[in-house]
Every structure is written in C-alpha cells, then in structure tokens.
Amino acid sequence: MAYVATRGGEKAIEQAERLFRQDLGTIDPDRVETIRRTMPYLIDRVMGEASLYSEELAALALAQTGGELSEAVLVLRAWRTTQPRIAIARPVQQSELLTQRRISAAFKDIPGGQILGPTLDYAHRVLATDVLEGRPYTPPMVDMADRPAPQRQPVLADWQRQQGLVKPAVPSEIAPEDIPDLTREPLLLPASRAHRLQSLARAETGGVLALGYSAMRGYGNAHPTVNELRLAEAEVVVRHPRGAQFSAGRVRVSQAEVTSKEKGGYLELGYAATFGWNEVKVIAAATLDLNSAEAPVGSAVHEEFYLYHTESVEASGFCIHFKLPHYVTFQSVLDAMRGAKARQASARAAEENQEESVP
C-alpha cells in the first residue's frame, strides 16, 4: 500500500477532530445549563436559525461546537430533520400573544400603548470592566408599575384596517397539513408566501441584516417605518387525538411589521417573524419582504437573491467546502490554458516564419 502512505488519510482526520474537541474539554450538563441560562439571546438566535425550539438542545449545540455558530445551527438542523412531525399547531394570532415588548415608530402613541419591555435601546453601551476587577455587577431591580401592562395587546394593523389605511386581511383557506413546509420540500420560485416567511424565519441573522441593510441604505425601493415590533411568548396550541385543544408550551417569538408608502390606495406592509427574540433579524427580514414586490430580478432585494443567500447552512457549508481539494478541476483548467497558449505560440511562430520568408 505504498501508494497511499504519503496521504494523511483516516488517522489524520480522526486526530484533527480530537484536537478540536480536546480544546473544548469535557462537556457536562452544568456547562450546557450555564450557557442556556446566561446567553438567552444567543440561544434565541440559534433556535431561530435552526428552526428548532429547544433551549436545552441549542445550548448543547453551542457547547459542543465551542460557539461556532454555523456549526451549532448545522448540528441542530441535522438532528431536527430526523424527528417526526407529530402535530401541526394552531396558527398564532397576534392579539393572543403574551406580549412583553411592543412598540410602533409610526405613531407617538397607539391603542394599547407603547410597551418598552426589556431592551438596551436607550442604554449607554459601556463595557462593565469593573467586573474584571473583582466588583461583580448586580443589576438594580425593576420598580413595579402601578398598573401592570395587559398581557395581550391589540394589533395596530387591525386599527389601520378599520381606518382603511391597510388592505383588508384575506386569510387563505388551507388545511393545516397542506401548509407548505420548507423543511420537508424544496424552495421553488416564485416562492409561496409561506415559504418566503419560513425561509426568512430560519435565515442567518447576519445575512438578513446585510441584505436588509442594503435595502434600507438605498439599494431597495422602500425605506421602512416600523409599524409594529413585538417580543412575545406564544402558546403552542395543538389538538389531542381525542379532539381537545391544549397548549403544549410557550415559545419566545419576535415579529416585525414594517411599512413604507402607499400602493393601490393602501399602505404596504412587510412582515417577518422568528423563534426567539431577535429584533435586528425581524426588522431586516420584514424590510426585505416589503421590498420584494417591486424588486428588479437579480437585485439583492429580489426574493430569489435574498432567500438563497441568507440560508445559513447552505451558505456556510459552501463557503467552507472550498477547503476541499479541487485539483482535478484545476488540472482541467490548466490543460485548457496550456492548450490555448501553445496554440497562440505556434500561430505567432508561423507568422514570424512567414515574415522572414518575405523578401
């Protein structure tokens, strides 16, 4: 087997993986629980991109990949896809959401009020270096409001529909099991509304931000106004085989509705929602949705462009695959290049010969 002796082969790949895992050390339930408890927004981001709502599994994925986000999302997706789809939850209505934060930039005040909820929006982003000098940071407690905000909030778009500002909503009549499911079928274009929103919901946060930002900055046709932004918890209501509907638990969700200008006598709305609390992602995604209708083919705000290029697992996988050997294709290119050069050289030589022979 002298032929293969110079190659690294199976032993090398095994040792390379060991080296990665050895650097991370032992992964135990404590480490997973610490990640889950202390990094809720990171967990949310990973759950959204994996389209798998499990804080525990997301924390485990982060632990075993050392926080390499695209790897963490990949292991979760690869696990998720092997699981059976056992039920289809009742669609979540906005007005039923247990809302913790809900703001609108379109009006100074809105029915139900502006509920700031948890946010760093108005904080001064100062690094708490004191912590490193042995002075732990303990946040001051929140003062209880005199009157707690209601758990559920009305929908601003409903008020706008009453006023004739937004087109009446026409819910599509579709059996739950017929709702297109992007995780079980390919994305075909033009995408169904379901596929577009599902694809954005599981899109890579940074990718959505980059393309959404390009639309906001001037490469799109619509500058977004945040009509309504919500961070909430949604009940996952499923039907028991015996018929009763019950909540199987709650999931954290974010959703954004952005608007821009009038079209056909109504305000256009762009929409996005995702698992977990991830405001940047839903605002950027809703902006892409808003820009889609009039997007030139091939532009960054055209759905084929942004849906394909914000797919976390596909984009990261393809990017790192360029590390794989490509010497066969390269050899093929070299051959064509050398062939063309030889042809040019012989053509030049023939020309010179001809010139020399001219008296």
Among 163, 329, 354, 357, which residue sits at the site for other proteins (rule: CB under 8 A)? 329
For residue 158, give the nearest of 90, 248, 228, 221 by alpha carbon: 228
Contact mark string toward other proteins, 58..97, x via CB under 8 A:
----------------xx-xx-xxx-x-------------
Does residue number 15 form part of the binding site for other proteins (CB under 8 A)?
A: no
Q: Which position has the token pair 């790897």? A: 71
Angle at 234 between CA 230 and CA 235, to 5 degrees: 165
The correct pick among 139, 243, 265, 298 for binding other proteins (CB under 8 A) is 298
Question: Taking a C-beta distance cutoff of 8 angstroms, is the pair 194, 52 a contact?
Answer: no
Beta carbon nearer to other proteins, 233 or 304: 304
Place of tokens 């209708």: 293
Give the one residue of 334, 350, 351, 352 binding other proteins; rule: CB under 8 A. Answer: 334
331-337 LR contacts (CB < 8 Å, sep 24+):
none
CB atoms within 10 A of CB 225: 15
**One of 264, 327, 353, 357 touching other proteins (CB under 8 A):** 327
Among 29, 293, 339, 349, binds other proteins (CB under 8 A): 339
Q: Token digits for 264?
A: 């056909």
Contact 274, 201 (CB under 8 A): yes
| N-to-C CA span, the chain | 64
Q: Quick one: residue 225, left, alpha or beta (phi over 0 = left, psi -120 to 50 = alpha)? A: beta
In the complex with other proteins, which residue's Cβ is closer, 19 or 324?
Answer: 324
Binding mask 162-191 for other proteins (x = CB under 8 A): ---------------------xxxxxxxx-
Residue 19 touching other proteins (CB under 8 A): no
Of 131, 320, 349, 350, which one interacts with other proteins (CB under 8 A)? 320
Please select the residue that binds other proteins; options are 205, 274, 278, 316, rule is CB under 8 A: 316
How far, in Å, CA of 225 to CA of 68, rounded?
A: 34
Half-sphere exposure (Cβ direction) of 70: Cα atoms closer than 13 Å = 14
Report how many residues bind other proteins under the rule CB under 8 A: 57
Residue 127 binds other proteins, judged by CB under 8 A: no
Give min distance, CB of 308 to other proteins, in A: 8
Question: In terms of Cα–Cα distance, which of 161, 32, 48 is closest to 95?
Answer: 161
Nearer to other proteins, 116 or 347 (CB): 347
Answer for which of 144, 324, 355, 356 binds other proteins (CB under 8 A) is: 324
Residue type at 318 in one-letter notation = F
Shortest distance, position 198 Cβ to other proteins, whole Å: 13
**Which one among 125, 147, 217, 321 touches other proteins, defined by CB under 8 A?**
321
Q: Which of 174, 340, 349, 350 binds other proteins (CB under 8 A)?
A: 340
Q: Which long-range contacts (CB under 8 A, 24 or more apart) does 2-6 make?
A: none
d(CA 151, CA 96): 9
Instruction: Write the single-letter amino acid at 197.
Output: L
* For other proteins, the closer CB: 241 or 325: 325
Classify 188 in phi/psi space as left (phi over 0), alpha (psi -120 to 50) or beta: beta
Which residues between 237 and 296 bind other proteins (CB under 8 A)? none
Point out which residues bind other proteins (CB under 8 A). 1-4, 7-10, 12-13, 74-75, 77-78, 80-82, 84, 183-190, 297-298, 304, 313-314, 316-321, 324-340, 343-344, 347
